[in-house]
């Protein structure tokens, strides 16, 4: 098996094709085509070559998609894992060519996962656009409130110039919701069978997780979301307070947190678990966070089983 490591940035990427010398290519269709052509020139074959790259927001999407479509094996690696490997090997130099070599080493160790399909990528784009517009709308509503208070204090309400913009944003959010529901509709319908999981949360789960069957246990999905706990203990004297790692997607955690607050009222086992945590003296938010982890377990069970939630 041959391995190729890629360090991707906004405008270009460097590829180490196995000789320790990274070659630069433009991060566009022409550059990716030139890269794939160079692989063929070097005698590398899709059936016996794995291409690894870091997950870099949206910038790795093009090369990952084109390489996968051409039949090459592609692995997308968490940048944190690549960074840890660099520290373990005492390679403190930080340059794009050296990073490509480091990514190749991470690929050789079997790190990373296959990139999501185009349908999942399309849903991710819709979910992210929706989140951006919702954030804009929230800021706009704050400005509307400030304008209303200022106008009241001056006895001059004036014209609300924010209202038409807020209406337009809301219309676009609704349009994105409709578009998102049409992508991977079966999975979203399955997830919405769980009380508390609404359309926005179901779309975010389908977009960010892709397929729960890629996770061998619910604990793995909990860790992916960033809800697993880290405990700081050493010997008999250090007993630090545990906390969640928050390494997953913040938007997904937020939506699941809101969903957990609804689910605890409609799913008996989650309600009982919330009451148990409150009885142990936990704060409302701590107890709700624990319910959120349980909800992810329920999501994993429903998703991997492929049957809607049914109340016991």
Separation between Cα atoms, residue 71 and residue 59, nearest integer Å:
20
Burial call 53-62: b when 16+ CB within 10 Å, e when fewer:
bbbbeebbbb
pLDDT (0 to 100) of residue 217: 95
Question: What's the pLDDT tens digit per position in 141-157?
Answer: 999 989 888 887 777 77
pLDDT (0 to 100) of residue 239: 46
pLDDT (0 to 100) of residue 228: 77
3-state secondary structure of 21: coil
Burial of 6 (0-12, 13-18, 19+ CB in 10 A): buried
pLDDT (0 to 100) of residue 92: 55
Residue of 210, 14, 202, 1 whose CA lies nearest to 114: 210
Separation between Cα atoms, residue 145 and residue 39, nearest integer Å:
58
Task: Mark residue 115 as left, alpha or beta (left: phi above 0; alpha: psi -120 to 50; beta: remaining).
Answer: beta
Contact 304, 209 (CB under 8 A): no
Contact 206, 123 (CB under 8 A): yes
Whether domain 2-108 has CATH 1.25.40.10: the reply is: no
Q: Tell me the pTM.
A: 0.78
Structural domain spans, the chain: 2-108, 118-183, 199-305
pLDDT (0 to 100) of residue 237: 46
Give pLDDT < 50 ranges for the chain: 232-235, 237-240
Structure tokens at 82: 């690549």
DSSP letter at 309?
Answer: -
């Amino acid at each position: 098996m041959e391995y190729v490591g890629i360090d991707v940035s906004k405008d270009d990427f460097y590829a180490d094709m196995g000789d320790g010398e990274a070659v630069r290519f433009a991060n566009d269709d022409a550059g990716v085509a030139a890269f794939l052509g160079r692989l063929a020139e070097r005698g590398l074959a899709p059936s016996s070559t794995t291409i690894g790259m870091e997950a870099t927001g949206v910038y790795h999407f093009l090369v990952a998609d084109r390489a996968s479509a051409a039949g090459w094996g592609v692995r997308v690696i968490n940048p944190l894992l690549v960074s840890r490997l660099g520290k373990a090997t005492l390679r403190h130099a930080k340059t794009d060519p050296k990073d490509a070599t480091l990514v190749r080493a991470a690929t050789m160790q079997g790190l990373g996962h296959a990139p999501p399909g185009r349908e999942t990528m399309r849903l991710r784009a819709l979910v992210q656009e929706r989140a951006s517009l919702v954030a804009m709308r929230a800021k706009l509503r704050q400005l509307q409130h400030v304008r209303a208070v200022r106008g009241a204090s001056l006895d001059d309400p004036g014209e609300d110039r924010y209202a038409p913009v807020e209406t337009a944003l809301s219309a676009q959010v609704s349009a994105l919701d409709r578009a998102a529901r049409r992508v991977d509709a079966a999975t979203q319908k399955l997830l919405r069978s769980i009380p508390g999981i609404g359309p926005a949360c179901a779309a975010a789960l389908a977009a960010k997780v892709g397929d729960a069957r890629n996770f061998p246990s619910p604990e793995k999905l909990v860790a992916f979301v960033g809800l697993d706990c880290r405990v700081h203990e050493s010997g008999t004297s250090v007993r630090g307070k545990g906390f969640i790692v928050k390494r997953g997607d913040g938007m997904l955690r937020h939506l699941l947190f809101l969903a957990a607050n609804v689910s605890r009222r409609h799913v008996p086992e989650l309600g009982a678990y919330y009451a148990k945590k409150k009885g142990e003296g936990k704060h409302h938010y701590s107890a709700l966070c624990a319910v959120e982890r349980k909800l992810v377990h329920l999501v994993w069970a429903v998703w991997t089983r492929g049957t809607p939630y049914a109340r016991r």
